[in-house]
Amino acid sequence: MSQTVNTSRKHPKGLPYLFFTEMWERFGYYLMLGIFVLYMIDVEKGGLAIRDKVSYDIFGTFIAITYLTPFLGGFLADKQLGYIKSVYIGGALMGLGYLGLGLPGLEYFGVEMTEGIVMTSFWISVFLIVVGNGFFKPSISTLLGNLYSTPEFKDRKDWGYNLFYMGINIGALLGPIFAAFMRNKYNWSASFATAGIGMFVGLVVFSFGLKHIRSGERQPSKPDSDSLLEGLPGAEHKEDSSIRQVLGYVFLPAMIAGLLGWFLPGMLFGEGTTLMDSQSTDAFLFAAVPVIIFYVSLWAKAKESEKRPIAALLAVFAISIVFWAVFKQNGTALTNWGKYFTDREVPAAIEPLARTLYQVEEMPSAPAMVAQYDEQFRAAKGEDGEVVRAMSQNIYFRNLPPDRVPTDGRTVYLTSTELFQSINPIWVVLLTPAVVGFFAWLRRRKKEPTTPTKIALGLVISGLSTLVMVGAVYASSNGAMKVSPWWLVGTYGVITVGELLLSPMGLSLVSKLSPPRLTALMMGGFFLSTAIGNKMSGVLAGMWYGYENKANFFLVNCLLLLAAAGMAFAILKWLNRVMAEKNIR
């Protein structure tokens, strides 16, 4: 099929359609993600009333699995389905999952929703989202990379991924704003339903652009011509050999390893014992081992010309884990900071507009029967598992400066906590043109750093962002007094610069170095590293309550990022040589 572009264009015609498809998909995902923990820990307005630490573990597991499933989704797209069909399948499943999270809202229409029904629909919906993401995510990224693989666009691939990344973050910016509007005006269910509608809008946009996107599609690989696990039993040249091999030699062992991770520590060391912070973490990390072994086997069995590029990608994947482990705490530790330790009172000048747009929470200051919290701001529960309530002011007023605590019972209007999730994408939208322009300026002077160099620098800058939060802890006297939201704005601003040097560059690097027959599968590998990092973010966030001085929590994150940066610089010359061998930067 001929390419639908010409050399007079700076970008392929399919870019805008992929841009807006991804924007709407990320709108739904980040709308849901922005309120996910808040919904789980909510004990006042119809939430699930799950303990904070358990919620962080569920959050970490969820965002981990949403990036682990692209391994299988990418493989099926490469070998069987094709990328366009995979985008449709994934988008439809995710849309249905978001709508499923909103099912408890049927209660407002007279449908009885017992606790069992609510939790069952919750877990089924989460399952649909993670499976759908597995098909959607690697496929749309691969389509973009293929559009830029022709000679007229090859040199603009990094630029294209940065623009694509801006689309992701416009969606991520708008998602929490709509989440706050729907939650404050209606309820949690309305917010989740809005996410589902956004996903289906994205698929409509994708359909309109198909004639320009099809040139990025390629026929699914014939497994009988490039068996991935050649030499293993069952790898004879059969039409379905590669699928059977991956299911038999990757996913079956992963399932067995996951079950061992769930049960074995308790059997060996006593009931309730875990190696990490929870059974789900043990199970996830055990299950990841066979998948990691599979990627190592790809390198071991690859053609000689493919070995070094695959090895370079695996090294970048390993380093990226640490970045995601820290970055994804925006939905846990930093959301916690925004909810309990940040002065969220809306300035009087913008209060009327914010109230009209339903971007504020109404917080009565008069004593009432409200949930009680311990010294770590965790909802207190009795022996019966029910939330303890007593006559007092809302927890928000506990660490407000004494002269700011209302004594007349008036209602205080607070910035909705989920809006802090929009700070990072706002920074991305603002900084992307500057970052792209800066590197374009360096490129014209032939001084642009290589993609691996950008990634290493991104890790260093991300490490510096955690020091901003160390300053916030000291300014708050270790949480004894609420501090300005500008601390969160600042830390998100710094880590966004690091993110722009790492995340879109990682996607670009996969597209540049991957053997064509394995591109979507290696995209799945990139998302696997993200998955492991995401899960570890939940583990790190769960340690929040173990630090008496919260500054130490952020210092540990800083040291982890700087250690990863040190590893990146240690192998930088080798990575650059591999890039040079492929005649790319």
Query: DSSP for 151-198?
Result: TTTGGGHHHHHHHHHHHHHHHHHHHHHHHHHHHHHT-HHHHHHHHHHH
Task: Residue count of the chain, please give it.
Answer: 585
Q: How does pLDDT run across 524-574, given as a tens digit for each residue?
A: 778 788 888 988 888 888 888 889 999 999 999 999 999 999 999 999 888
Give the pLDDT of residue 580.
80
What would you measure as the largest C-alpha separation in the chain, in angstroms?
A: 79
Q: Which residues of 264-288 are buried (b: 16+ CB within 10 A; e: fewer)?
A: bbeeeeeeeebebbbbbbbbbbbbb
Decide: 503 and 324 in contact? Cβ < 8 Å. Answer: no
Give the pLDDT of residue 158.
67
* Residue 218 pLDDT class (50, 70, 90 cuts): low
Token pair in block for residue 359: 């971007």
Lowest pLDDT segment from 188-192, 514-518, 563-567:
514-518
Give the pLDDT of residue 228.
45
Range 449-457 average pLDDT: 88
* Residue 129 pLDDT class (50, 70, 90 cuts): very high
The burial class, CB within 10 Å (0-12 / 13-18 / 19+), for 563 is: middle
Domain boundaries of the chain, sorted by first residue: 15-219+303-340+423-581, 363-411
Q: How many CA atoms lie within 13 A of 119 on its CB side?
A: 6
371 pairs with which residues across the strands? Answer: 389
Q: What angle do CA 50, 56, 57 make, to 5 degrees?
A: 95
Decide: 520 and 429 in contact? Cβ < 8 Å. Answer: no
Q: How many CA atoms lie within 13 A of 553 on its CB side?
A: 24
Q: Which residues of 189-222 are buried (b: 16+ CB within 10 A; e: fewer)?
A: bbbbbbbbbbbbbbbebbeebeebbebbbbebbe
Q: Which of 190, 139, 550, 524 is nearest to 341 (CA)?
A: 550
Question: What single DSSP character describes residue 107?
Answer: G
* Residue 332 pLDDT class (50, 70, 90 cuts): confident
Q: How does pLDDT run across 395-441, given as a tens digit for each residue?
A: 899 999 888 888 888 899 999 998 998 898 889 888 888 888 888 88
The backbone torsions φ and ψ at residue 560, rounded to the nearest 5 degrees and listed phi first, read -60, -45
Residue 430 neighbours by CB distance under 10 Å:
13
Give the residue carrying structure tokens 């988008």. Answer: 91
* Residue 520 pLDDT class (50, 70, 90 cuts): low
Q: Does domain 15-219+303-340+423-581 have CATH number 3.40.50.720?
A: no
Q: Is the pLDDT of residue 215 over 60?
A: yes
Range 293-312 average pLDDT: 84
H or E segment to which residue 451 belongs: helix 451-475
Long-range contacts of 556-559 (CB under 8 A, 24+ apart): 557/326, 557/329, 557/466, 558/463, 558/464, 558/466, 558/467, 558/470
Give the pLDDT of residue 94.
95
Rounded Cα distance between 3 and 12, Å, is: 9
Q: Is the pLDDT of residue 484 over 60?
A: yes
Lowest pLDDT segment from 51-55, 156-160, 299-303, 396-400:
156-160
* Residue 494 pLDDT class (50, 70, 90 cuts): very high
Residue 93 vs residues 131, 132, 136, 191, 229: alpha-carbon distances, Å: 7, 5, 9, 18, 30
Q: Which of 56, 98, 36 is nearest to 543 (CA)?
A: 56
Rounded Cα distance between 282 and 261, Å, is: 5
Residue 17 neighbours by CB distance under 10 Å:
20
Give the residue carrying structure tokens 């909802």. Answer: 379
Residue 95 vs residues 105, 129, 514, 530: alpha-carbon distances, Å: 16, 8, 30, 22
Residue 422 vs residues 270, 427, 503: alpha-carbon distances, Å: 44, 9, 18
61 pairs with which residues across the strands? Answer: none
Give the pLDDT of residue 190.
92
- Cα-Cα-Cα-Cα torsion 350, 351, 352, 353, nearest 10 degrees, comes to 50
* Residue 3 pLDDT class (50, 70, 90 cuts): very low
Range 127-136 average pLDDT: 92
Give the pLDDT of residue 9.
63
Range 488-496 average pLDDT: 95
Q: Is the pLDDT of residue 5 over 80?
A: no
Lowest pLDDT segment from 215-224, 278-287, 428-437, 503-512:
215-224
390 pairs with which residues across the strands? Answer: 370
Q: Is the pLDDT of residue 282 over 60?
A: yes
Q: Is the pLDDT of residue 229 over 50?
A: no
Contacts of 422 (CB under 8 A, 6+ apart): 34, 172, 173, 174, 175, 176, 177
Decide: 167 and 83 in contact? Cβ < 8 Å. Answer: no
Give the pLDDT of residue 242.
60
Decide: 188 and 77 in contact? Cβ < 8 Å. Answer: no
Give the pLDDT of residue 495.
94
Range 102-109 average pLDDT: 85
Token pair in block for residue 428: 């991305």
- pLDDT above 90 covers what percent of the chain? 28
Q: Is the pLDDT of residue 39 over 60?
A: yes
Instruction: Please tell me which residue, 268 or 151, carries the higher pLDDT value.
Output: 268
Residue 15 vs residues 103, 141, 144, 184: alpha-carbon distances, Å: 35, 11, 7, 35
The burial class, CB within 10 Å (0-12 / 13-18 / 19+), for 447 is: exposed
Q: How does pLDDT run across 43-91, given as a tens digit for each residue?
A: 778 888 888 888 888 888 888 888 778 777 877 887 778 889 999 999 9
Look up the pTM and report it: 0.80
